[in-house]
Structure 1
Amino acid sequence: MRVRMALYILLATVLGGLFGYLFPHAGIAIKPVGDAFIRLIKMVVLPVIVSTLLVGVAGIGDIRRMGRIGLKTIVWFEFFTTLILFLGLIVANVVHPGTGIDLSQLPKGDISKLQSNTATVMDGTTLLLNIIPTNFLDAMARSDMLATIFFCVMFGIALVGLGERAKPFVQFMDIVSQASFRLVNMVMTVAPIGVFALMAATIGTYGVKLVIPLLRLIGTAYLALALLVFVVFPIVALCLRIRITDVYKMVWDLMLIGASTGSTETVVPQLMDRLERFGVPKSITSFVIPAGLPLNSDGTTLYLTIAAPFIAQLFGIHMTFIQQITMILFFIVTSKGVAAVPSSSMVILLATATAVGLPAEGVALILGVDRIIDMARTAVNVMGHVFSSAVVARWEGVLGKPQGIPAVTSADGPMETANL
């Protein structure tokens, strides 16, 4: 059943794109159906994250161990982010995707909404202060993941201090978690419909004519992302002493769902459950994956150092070695904490490009194909969460052996468990 659902979603993606191409106005008209599906996903993701994070932190039962897990998670995020940024920069400098493209062939997108968010991205002090919510419910309502995680971790630590008195509340939150996973199962039954509408609306809005002039950018981005999936991640798997083929089997359909919807949040509940069966304890996944949503988007991070040099090459601007290193330092800072901002990757790109002297017009020129590239980088983000969880679990010495991979959740539902 797991394979069947993945194939349904793949078919919906293809048919949606074809429908949007043949009937662009109709494709745009059904966009609310796709938006409704995304809203359903967002409706249930926060309850899953809050409940599992509280249960996970309380279940650790040791404040010092919680701090150790948190520190190791941040260290891995920063190390791997830096590595990926340099990988993207190398690919962009070798391939030169922006050289020789006729600017007159590229229609400009509207970046006015992006520009309104760039000030916040570049203000590091504001980003740090915003991690501490003044109102937890408001942070949840705005899908501010960092602020939500901060509150849940602090509250979980307080629960640990209560000892046995906290047990009824923790059991209640565990029930909330299980119910939320079952709700995800229900929502995913309509995924093909939502994916069809999203793809039809995307192609209907932008068409395919925009793709042709920017094929080199798209191809370079896909090449770099493929290097990450088929070269870098296998090396990490080798260091972790796990089989990369097992990881591919576990996550391929979730990568497809993430690519089709353009949202990593879509597969968070399923991913957490599968990782637990894969041998990563719940105490690890319940912290690392929620923290990774705003802090560890490997595919998005890689794309940033493809897109910025592309803009420079497009306008014939030579970036010195110092400028490129400065750009990477900006990306290390700006790529954190803006997941709740719409089109966050393009906001980051616009803010950093402007800071290092690249024209904002370049972001407007590639905005139209962002959805096509976003599909691939979202899929890679999903795999990135797998390895970040596995790395922290191995570092803690608690990475176990795979015990079979559930297709969606541990709750009973239309998708059955599939063993490795």
Structure 2
Amino acid sequence: MDTVTQKKSWYHTVLTNLTFYVLIAIIAGVLLGHFAPATAIKTEWIGKTFVNIIKLFIAPIIFLTIVLGISSIGNLKKVGRIGIKSLIYFEVVTTLALGIGIVVALLVQPGNIDRTGLDLQDASKYTKQAGSSFNWIEFFKANLTLQVLLVAIIVGILFNYSRHRLKLIHFFGRISHYVFTALKYVMYLAPLGAFGGMAYTIGKFGLQTLVPLAKLMACVYLTMFVFIFFILGSIMRYYGFRISSFLKNIKEELLIVLGTSSSEAALPSIMRKLEKMGCSKSVVGLVIPTGYSFNLDGTSIYLSMAAIFLAQLYNIHLSAGELLTILLILMLTSKGAAGVTGSGFIVLASTLAAIKTIPLEGLAFLLGVDKFMSEARAITNIIGNGVATLVIAKSEKEYVEENV
């Protein structure tokens, strides 16, 4: 191939790559938000509309994938083993994330900063919802993902006992194909979603709002970086994977999450991508949807760091027992930090209310910059769930060797 042909091939690859357009859209959104904030704020509906369209696919894709996954395995003992292994993995890794968040916050002390100029907002709507404890029944009622997950598991098990199991698998397999085909075309709108989300964020809050709480943000981003490349990276190395190769494979999904601040926007896409990498449909269908509620590594890091940050902000000394209490409470409440709008604050408020040491009003300090940290949380969450799927698929011999 001559040089001219190579250049044409390179240009064609770049110009037909969705990642290229998402990245351009993010840059354009930042520029519009900075130089024309009034106009940028009006683009909020674009990002929200894209995320809402993607959300329409989440329930059917979770249902179809889990039903097909369980019914295709045929061995219900294996389904139970994968489920239990997943939950144990989630608890161990998220507890590590919580512990790392606490340790870094204690060492760096991001809360020991000048309070002048902090953008205080009303946090009453979060503190009122918090109550004295987290309500799991209400959380389940409000969490469509968990409801669909439960129904799909039951249907999948029932299919295993049906005489027409193979016909049912074929029928639902065709429906799944049509749903994913529709999703493929919707994903062409990803650059618009990323543009709207980023433009609104910068236009609404401005770059200067990052300054007062830059230390906390730096700690959150640095801690998540360390967690991804050292903790998750080590886990992947143990199972014969490379974190760098995995991140390269899901770069489109990461850019979508970055632009929309929502890991849900990339859920259907990451499920399909993991299957292409070599994970079986059954493992992907069980681990990813469950992980979206129980394996929130980024959210866990943020919650533990935020609690310590607020204690430092109010100059409250936490004893070793109180730190352990925070860790134990967050081990439970952090599992409820998905599927509900503002749930991160509700979970944090519930934790603070249970501890009764750190003022709930301190949540107001976090409202102004939470949007800028949500990208880091969402990206870490989706990476963590991808790693969990690869690890569990490999350990269950449900993985076809690929170059990951």
1:64 is matched with which residue?
77
Task: Give me the whole-angstrom Cα distance separating, in 2, the residues matched to 1:60 and 1:195.
Answer: 37
Q: For 1:269-308, what aligned pairs fall within 5 Å after superposition?
A: 269-308=268-307
Q: Deviations 1:322-374 (Å, cap 9, x if unpaired)?
A: 11111111111111134121022222122212322211222111111111111
Residue among 94, 106, 112 paired with 1:81: 94
1:123 is matched with which residue?
135
1:369 is matched with which residue?
369
CA drift of 1:66 comes to 0.9
Task: Give me the whole-angstrom Cα distance separating, in 2, the residues matched to 1:53 and 1:148.
Answer: 10
Task: Give me the whole-angstrom Cα distance separating, in 1, the residues matched to 2:103 and 2:65.
Answer: 39
1:313 is matched with which residue?
312
Q: Deviations 1:149-192 (Å, cap 9, x if unpaired)?
A: 01110111011111x31333322221221112112211111111
2:157 is matched with which residue?
157
CA drift of 1:18 comes to 2.0
2:9 is matched with which residue?
none
Q: Give the length in aligned residue pairs.
A: 390
CA drift of 1:116 comes to 4.3
Q: Is the 8 A contact 2:193 2:259 kept in 1?
A: no
CA drift of 1:70 comes to 0.7
CA drift of 1:103 comes to 2.2
Q: For 1:126-137, what aligned pairs fall within 5 Å after superposition?
A: 126=137, 131=140
Is structure 2 residue 342 aligned with structure 1 residue 343? yes
Q: Is the 8 A contact 1:255 1:380 kept in 2?
A: no
Q: 1:355 aligns to what SS in structure 2? A: helix
Q: 1:210 aligns to what SS in structure 2? A: helix
1:389 is matched with which residue?
389
Task: Give me the whole-angstrom Cα distance separating, in 2, the residues matched to 1:47 and 1:54.
Answer: 10
1:18 is matched with which residue?
31
Q: Is the 8 A contact 2:59 2:144 kept in 1?
A: no
Task: Give me the whole-angstrom Cα distance separating, in 2, the residues matched to 1:13 and 1:26.
Answer: 16
Task: Report the CA distance shift for 1:38/1:120 in structure 2 as closer, same or farther (over 3 A).
Answer: farther
Q: 2:335 aligns to what SS in structure 1? A: coil
Q: Is the 8 A contact 2:133 2:354 kept in 1?
A: no
Residue among 33, 37, 50 paired with 2:46: 33
Q: Is the 8 A contact 1:109 1:364 kept in 2?
A: yes
Task: Give me the whole-angstrom Cα distance separating, in 2, the residues matched to 1:359 and 1:71.
Answer: 37
2:196 is matched with which residue?
197
Task: Give me the whole-angstrom Cα distance separating, in 1, the residues matched to 2:175 and 2:126.
Answer: 36
Larger displacement relative to structure 2 (251-260 or 90-99): 251-260
Q: 1:335 aligns to what SS in structure 2? A: helix
2:399 is matched with which residue?
399
Task: Give me the whole-angstrom Cα distance separating, in 2, the residues matched to 1:14 and 1:215.
Answer: 21
2:184 is matched with which residue?
185
Q: Match of 2:280, as an amino acid?
A: P
Unaligned 5+ runs, structure 2 = 1-12
Task: Report the CA distance shift for 1:9/1:335 in structure 2 as closer, same or farther (over 3 A).
Answer: same
Task: Give me the whole-angstrom Cα distance separating, in 2, the residues matched to 1:242 and 1:122.
Answer: 37
Q: Match of 1:397, as an amino acid?
A: K
CA drift of 1:209 comes to 2.6
Task: Give me the whole-angstrom Cα distance separating, in 2, the residues matched to 1:241 and 1:91.
Answer: 29
CA drift of 1:143 comes to 5.0
Q: Is the 8 A contact 1:34 1:193 kept in 2?
A: yes
Residue among 42, 66, 69 paired with 2:55: 42
Is structure 2 residue 256 aligned with structure 1 residue 257? yes
Task: Report the CA distance shift for 1:147/1:121 in structure 2 as closer, same or farther (over 3 A).
Answer: farther
Q: Is the 8 A contact 1:44 1:183 kept in 2?
A: no
TM-score, normalised via structure 1 length: 0.88
Q: Is the 8 A contact 2:210 2:369 kept in 1?
A: yes
2:123 is matched with which residue?
111
Larger displacement relative to structure 2 (190-199 or 71-80): 190-199
Q: Is the 8 A contact 1:52 1:173 kept in 2?
A: no
Q: Match of 2:360, as an amino acid?
A: A
1:241 is matched with which residue?
240
Task: Give me the whole-angstrom Cα distance separating, in 1, the residues matched to 2:180 and 2:295.
Answer: 23
Task: Report the CA distance shift for 1:276/1:179 in structure 2 as closer, same or farther (over 3 A).
Answer: same
Q: 1:339 aligns to what SS in structure 2? A: coil
CA drift of 1:261 comes to 1.0
Q: Match of 1:65, as an amino acid?
A: K
CA drift of 1:30 comes to 1.9
2:7 is matched with which residue?
none
1:136 is matched with which residue?
none
TM-score, normalised via structure 2 length: 0.91
Task: Report the CA distance shift for 1:121/1:169 in structure 2 as closer, same or farther (over 3 A).
Answer: farther
Q: Match of 1:6, as an amino acid?
A: T
Task: Give me the whole-angstrom Cα distance separating, in 2, the residues matched to 1:222 and 1:295.
Answer: 21
Unaligned 5+ runs, structure 1 = 132-138, 404-419
Q: Is the 8 A contact 2:216 2:309 kept in 1?
A: yes
CA drift of 1:120 comes to 8.9
| Percentage of matched positions with identical amino acids | 32
Task: Give me the whole-angstrom Cα distance separating, in 1, the residues matched to 2:367 and 2:348.
Answer: 11
Task: Give me the whole-angstrom Cα distance separating, in 1, the residues matched to 2:359 and 2:63.
Answer: 40
Q: Deviations 1:15-50 (Å, cap 9, x if unpaired)?
A: 212212222221222211221111111111211111
Task: Give me the whole-angstrom Cα distance separating, in 2, the residues matched to 1:105 and 1:156.
Answer: 55
1:413 is matched with which residue?
none
